[in-house]
Amino acid sequence: MSTPIGPWAGTRHRNSVLWVIALATLALLFDGYDLVVYGTILPILMADPTQLGHITAQDAGALGSYALIGVGIGALATGAIGDYLGRRKMMLISITWFSTGMATTALVNSVGAFGALRLITGIGMGGLIVTVGALVAEFAPPGRKNLFNAIVYGGFAVGGVIASVLALILRDTIGWRGLFWIGALPLVVLLPLAIVKLPESPRWLIAHGNTERAHRISRSTGIPSPTVDELAAERDTIEKNGYAALLTRKYIGGTALLGLTVFACLLLIFGLNTWLPKIMENAGYNASKSLSFLIVLNGGAVVGALLASRFADRHGPQRIIAGMFGMAAISLVVLTLPLPLPVLLVAVALAGAGTTGTQVVIWGFVANYYMTTARAAGVAWCAGFGRLGGIFGPFIGGLILGAGLSNNVAFYIFSAVALAGMALTLLVPRTRNIAGHGITTGTKTARSRVPAHD
């Protein structure tokens, strides 16, 4: 038996979990890069018909939505099969899928092919988003779940920053195709590491009757296995698994509200990431300054997510998420005012914290809201239904700009959506549920130590 170290069962436990967190973070970093890079190349594609063909503002909004349609499909499909295939297999499949999609997209020469491949690539991205939520919930120790969740999903925002910075530095040199080739790097860098270093979840294995393999992984990695009694107690709270569990009295209300909350947040995220550079160009800022707004937006998301996660671990995520939505609503209204550039950049950073940063905390809230055998389905439902909001975000921006309306109209609409997200969050009912190694009661997590089998 390893000597306990704080929340860790031993050194091997800590090292193994940190490898899982690092791999999941890198995967979502590229996921974020792949989705945000479209917004950075959009001005080029719209200005130069020789790239793919003539693209109107409405066309651009539709193209931005195709990847998100794919994400929704991938998330829902993963919810149906992820709880049966396992966390490790779904992670490897998702990395391979979206990396191959990015590489193939770099080769296309028409608007139709570009849109089709964005949709296909999004399927792998959706699988990844669902899988990493389950990984963090089942591997992170009590008292660190929201922090590690913020680190992992913060990788998405870091990827957005990297996409913006690389576009600023390299867009004129390597073109949009080169930026997409960068998005394919996980196939040769991340996938081999994940094959070697990513274990299957002992909790998932025991929940599916493979106790011997779970204990074998626990002995080799130091990762604690839950006891059969613990999982039996979890199953006793509800008889159905997967999507069927989401329709039970215990979960149906919270599931509907969480889905709508994610819908609102993703509408904000993808509406802003797709159209912020173009809106700022229309407001008179040059291309470099317009991309700087996108960098600040995603940078604010990273910092905001990390700070909010620490408060979520201490005070529960529900009120923290609601407060961040409120901050986003105020910040978006500030962007309509004739203020100095430094003040506007601060408002953009706070908007990033209140949108992408908020979604990071929401994923942790969702993953720990459900029991082990319904976790992937719960995250998948929220990711799949929520992606409809991500689809509408770019589409709404395209309609507003295509109709020649003021830039301020877009910010007012986004602010109203943020207020709706705040209200929806506060309405989510609490549910007592065993998650990972602790007991989650809506907004509180009580610690319990599970012995490692080594």
Q: Half-sphere exposure (CA, 13 Å, Cβ side) for 434?
A: 21
Query: In which element (H, E) is residue 368 found?
Result: none
Q: How far apart are the first and last CA of the chain?
A: 5
pLDDT tens, residue by residue, 163-220: 888 888 888 789 889 999 999 999 999 999 999 999 988 887 887 778 888 888 888 8
User: Cα separations (Å) of 349 from 142, 193, 274?
Assistant: 30, 33, 16
The tokens for 266 are 């993703």
User: How many domains does the chain contain in total?
Assistant: 1
Residue 55: φ, ψ to 5°:
-130, 115
pLDDT at 20: 92
Collapsed DSSP state (helix, strand, coil) of residue 441: strand
Mean pLDDT (the chain, rounded): 80
Residue 12: φ, ψ to 5°:
-65, -40
With both helix axes pointing from N to C terminus, report the angle between 287-315 and 145-183 in degrees, rounded to the nearest 10: 150
pLDDT tens, residue by residue, 272-311: 877 776 666 666 665 566 667 777 887 888 888 888 888 8
CA distance 132 to 128: 6
CA distance 307 to 391: 28
Residue 140 within any structural domain of the chain: yes
**Residue 69 belongs to what domain range?**
11-447
* Residue of higher predicted confidence among 43 and 263: 263
CA distance 329 to 419: 6
Beta bridge partners of 440: 433, 445
pLDDT at 449: 36
User: What are the start-end ranges of the H helices in 237-251?
Assistant: 242-246
* Residue of higher predicted confidence among 444 and 306: 306
Residue 6 within any structural domain of the chain: no
Please report the DSSP string for 47-67 in residue order.
H-TTTSS---HHHHHHHHHHH
Q: Indicate the Cα dihedral angle 104, 110, 112, 116, nearest 10°.
A: 10
Nearest to 414 by CA among 203, 266, 301, 250: 266
Q: How confident is the model at residue 242 (pLDDT cuts 50, 70, 90)?
A: low
CA distance 186 to 183: 7
284: left (phi over 0), alpha (psi -120 to 50) or beta: left
Residue 392 within any structural domain of the chain: yes
Collapsed DSSP state (helix, strand, coil) of residue 86: coil
Residue 454 within any structural domain of the chain: no
User: What are the start-end ranges of the H helices in 283-406?
Assistant: 287-315, 317-334, 341-367, 372-402
pLDDT tens, residue by residue, 328-380: 999 888 888 878 878 888 988 998 889 888 888 898 888 778 777 777 778 88
pLDDT at 42: 82
pLDDT at 441: 38
pLDDT(438) > 70: no
Count of Cβ atoms closer than 10 Å to residue 54 Cβ:
10
Residue 195 within any structural domain of the chain: yes
Contact at 8 Å (CB) between 133 and 145? Answer: no
pLDDT tens, residue by residue, 88-112: 999 999 999 999 999 999 999 888 8
pLDDT at 448: 36
The tokens for 437 are 């190694």
Residue 453 within any structural domain of the chain: no
Q: Half-sphere exposure (CA, 13 Å, Cβ side) for 80?
A: 7
CA distance 167 to 155: 18
pLDDT tens, residue by residue, 47-94: 888 888 888 877 887 887 788 788 888 888 887 787 778 889 999 999
User: What are the start-end ranges of the H helices in 48-185?
Assistant: 57-85, 87-105, 111-139, 145-183
What CATH number does the domain containing 119 carry?
1.20.1250.20
pLDDT at 271: 81
CA distance 414 to 276: 12
CA distance 205 to 352: 37
CA distance 64 to 36: 10
Q: Which residue has the tokens 């913060």?
A: 154
Classify residue 393 by burial, with Cβ atoms within 10 Å: 0-12, 13-18, 19+: buried
Share of the chain above pLDDT 90, in %: 21
Q: How confident is the model at residue 454 (pLDDT cuts 50, 70, 90)?
A: very low
CA distance 118 to 98: 9
The tokens for 38 are 């479209």
Residue 3 within any structural domain of the chain: no
> What mean pLDDT is predicted for residues 320-334?
92
Residue 305 within any structural domain of the chain: yes
